[in-house]
Amino acid sequence: MRASTGTLMRSTNRTDARRTRVDPPQMITPSVHGDVLTAISDGMVALLKEFYGRGPTRAKSYYEDDLVVCVLRGGFSRVEETLLNGGRGHAVIQQRMEFQEVMRERFAGVIAHATGRKVIGFMSGNQQHPDLMCEVFILAPTDLVDDHEIQADEASAPDR
């Protein structure tokens, strides 16, 4: 698996990264930002591998302001490959959409833990050729959603 962290390089000094406070989100330093992106990519790949039986072969994550995007490549199961080869691609996409909805809280937990911020929105998309999955997360606080619209029970809180 090849995990990419976007345009910023990952820090090699983890001690400094852990001591750096990530509050407010706009003040993230490049070394900490790289660690966050790596945690997102690695966490998403690990979840998919654990629950799908096979994980993506590539992952790349982006984190800017109140938006996290994780693009994943590969990882079709043998059943999915059989369905695709049999002309049942729509069934594979539908199954993946159902799976991603079931995994919503687990995916959001990975993002909340990595960023230290609450996830208030999750959207997912899939395509077959080339095989790509895209997971999009909206984080609080954001100017897109008023505070009174965010319900505590609908949003994942960070584990930090």
Number of domains the chain contains: 1
Structural domain span for residue 118: 2-149
- pLDDT, one tens digit per residue, over 103-158 is 999 999 999 999 999 999 999 998 888 889 999 999 999 989 888 888 765 445 55
Strand partners, 137: 68, 122
Domain membership of residue 156 (yes or no) is no
Nearest to 128 by CA among 79, 74, 58: 74
- pTM of the entire predicted model: 0.74
Q: Which residue has the tokens 């594979």?
A: 92
87: left (phi over 0), alpha (psi -120 to 50) or beta: left
Radius of gyration of the chain (CA): 16
Strands of 58-64's sheet in order across: 2-4, 58-64, 67-73, 132-139, 119-127
Domain membership of residue 159 (yes or no) is no
Express the helix, strand and coil content of the chain in percent, nearest 5 each.
45, 20, 35
| Cα–Cα distance measured from residue 97 to residue 51, given in angstroms and rounded to the nearest whole number | 14
Residue 65 above 50 pLDDT? yes
Domain membership of residue 39 (yes or no) is yes
Q: Which residue has the higher pLDDT, 46 or 12?
A: 46
pLDDT score, position 59: 96
Q: Which residue has the tokens 């949003």?
A: 155
Residue 26 above 50 pLDDT? no
pLDDT, mean of residues 13-25: 36
C-alpha to C-alpha distances, 85 to 4, 76, 90, 126, 148, nearest whole angstrom: 29, 12, 12, 17, 48
